[in-house]
């Protein structure tokens, strides 16, 4: 974590520390929970950067999931609407790749934190983020079935948060502290995606692996402590198998599919988000439209999917459209 973040933490820390001590003599009872989170100031900045990456990283789809740990209960919602495709370059041995996406995320996070002064504090943080991301790169056909796609992405985000702090066991003698904050962020990332696509009669097997390195810089924060920066690395693996249903609409086929994916936030301690990896298993139904406007890019299918998400300390589900 950067020294810029550590020095900027003073703004929020002083407010919270002063609130804890200003009426300490009024507290009649202090309750120390059996399970609590050991939360350092730099963990708050890392959590902010990780939350941005969880919402904006290329390749991540919409989901609702929860993370539970001793002293912590978190609920995440991530949604996105976007499109990505190869762009045909005539008379060239390679194609271009482009994509655009609008992403939304929210986090309700409740933590029981033990302060250095020995008091236990409950923190309720509600965060929301809206992000617009654009991507551009190359699509390199290595063989008939194997393709490499290196590309760059730029995402602009706006975050809002409301955090409430209360001393556990204070029996209401100290008022709840509420902080409303806002901050903007810009994320730049580089991605390398390898994909395999092969037909076996009416059966189709698709597999891909993706690695993304992202740099995020926040600015215009309500407090100096919110102006920080950080790196994230994300690895994804995805396998999808599909087959014909025998159904047709206007002579276009419907296909069923089943898929499995694994997401790992490399090098991320589980504390900032409550987890650093998860697996998703699901099924879907696609309507093959096979549209290719102006021979530039294509829309292969429009479908619905539903999946179950699970991992160490995290579980949830994913329901949405697929393209």
Domains of the chain are 3-322 (2.40.128.130)
Sign, Cα dihedral of 276, 60, 86, 207: positive
pLDDT band at 19; cut points 50, 70, 90: very low
Lowest mean pLDDT among 83-87, 161-165, 292-296: 292-296
- The set of residues, in sequence order, having a beta carbon less than 8 Å from that of 18 and lying 6+ positions away, is none
- pLDDT score of 111 more than 70: yes
Q: What is the mean pLDDT of the chain?
A: 82
H or E element that contains 236: strand 229-249
Q: What does the pLDDT read at residue 3?
A: 38
- Left, alpha or beta for 304 (phi > 0: left; psi -120 to 50: alpha)? beta
Average of per-residue pLDDT across 110-121: 73
pLDDT band at 278; cut points 50, 70, 90: very high
| 294 vs 305: which has the higher pLDDT | 305
Q: Which two tokens stand for residue 45?
A: 């900045």
Express each pLDDT in 130-139 by its tens digit.
Answer: 999 999 999 9
Coil/strand/helix, residue 10: helix
Q: How far apart are CA 36 and CA 30, in angstroms?
A: 14
* 172: phi then psi, degrees, rounded to nearest 5: 75, 10
Residue 198's nearest CA partner among 188, 207, 189 is 207
H or E element that contains 153: strand 146-167
Q: How far apart are CA 188 and CA 301, in angstroms?
A: 29
CB atoms within 10 A of CB 162: 13
- pLDDT score of 70 more than 80: no
pLDDT band at 117; cut points 50, 70, 90: low
Using alpha carbons only, give the angle 183, 7, 5 rounded to the nearest 5 degrees. Answer: 45
* 40: phi then psi, degrees, rounded to nearest 5: -90, 155
Residues facing 175 on adjacent strands: none
Residues facing 192 on adjacent strands: 150, 211
Residue 107's nearest CA partner among 121, 123, 125, 122 is 125
Express each pLDDT in 48-61 by its tens digit.
Answer: 888 888 888 877 77
| 203 vs 85: which has the higher pLDDT | 203
Note the Cα 127 to chain centre separation in Å.
13
pLDDT band at 35; cut points 50, 70, 90: low
pLDDT band at 173; cut points 50, 70, 90: low
Coil/strand/helix, residue 294: helix
Q: How far apart are CA 239 and CA 262, in angstroms?
A: 9
Q: What does the pLDDT read at residue 13?
A: 47
Average of per-residue pLDDT across 183-206: 96
Q: How far apart are CA 83 and CA 94, in angstroms?
A: 20
Largest CA distance in the chain: 79
Coil/strand/helix, residue 222: coil
- pLDDT score of 87 more than 90: no
* 9: phi then psi, degrees, rounded to nearest 5: -65, -20
Q: How far apart are CA 150 and CA 306, in angstroms?
A: 29
* CA torsion, ordered 213, 219, 223, 226, to nearest 10 deg: 0
Q: How far apart are CA 222 and CA 229, in angstroms?
A: 15
Structure pTM? 0.82
Average of per-residue pLDDT across 249-266: 93
**Residue showing tokens 């810029």:** 4
- pLDDT score of 8 more than 50: no
Average of per-residue pLDDT across 57-77: 82
């Amino acid at each position: 974590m950067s020294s810029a973040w550590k020095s900027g933490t003073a703004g929020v820390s002083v407010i919270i520390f002063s609130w804890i001590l200003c009426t300490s003599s009024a507290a009649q009872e202090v309750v120390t929970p059996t399970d609590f989170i050991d939360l350092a100031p730099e963990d708050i900045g890392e959590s902010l950067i990780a939350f941005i990456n969880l919402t904006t990283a290329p390749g991540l789809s919409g989901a609702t999931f929860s993370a539970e740990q001793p002293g912590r209960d978190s609920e995440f919602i991530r949604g996105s609407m976007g499109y990505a495709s190869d762009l045909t370059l005539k008379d060239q041995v390679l194609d271009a790749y482009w994509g655009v996406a609008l992403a939304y995320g929210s986090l309700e996070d409740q933590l029981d934190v033990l302060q250095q002064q020995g008091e236990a504090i409950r923190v309720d943080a509600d965060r929301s983020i809206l992000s617009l991301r654009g991507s551009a790169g190359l699509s390199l056909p290595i063989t008939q079935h194997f393709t490499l796609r290196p590309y760059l992405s730029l995402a602009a985000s706006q975050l809002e948060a409301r955090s409430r702090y209360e001393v556990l066991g204070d029996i209401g003698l100290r008022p709840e502290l509420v902080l409303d904050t806002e901050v903007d962020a810009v994320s730049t990332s580089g991605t390398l995606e390898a994909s395999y696509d092969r037909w076996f009669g009416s059966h189709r097997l698709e597999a891909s692996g993706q690695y993304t390195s992202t740099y995020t810089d926040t600015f215009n924060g309500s407090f100096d402590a919110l102006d920080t920066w950080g790196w994230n690395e994300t690895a994804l693996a995805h396998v999808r198998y599909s087959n014909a249903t025998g159904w047709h609409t206007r002579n276009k086929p419907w296909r069923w599919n089943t898929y499995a994916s694994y997401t790992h936030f490399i090098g991320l301690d589980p504390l900032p988000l409550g987890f650093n990896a998860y697996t998703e298993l699901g099924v879907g139904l696609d309507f093959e439209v096979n549209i290719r406007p102006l021979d530039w890019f294509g829309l292969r299918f429009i479908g619905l999917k539903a999946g179950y998400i699970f991992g160490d300390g995290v579980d949830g589900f994913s329901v949405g459209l697929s393209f």
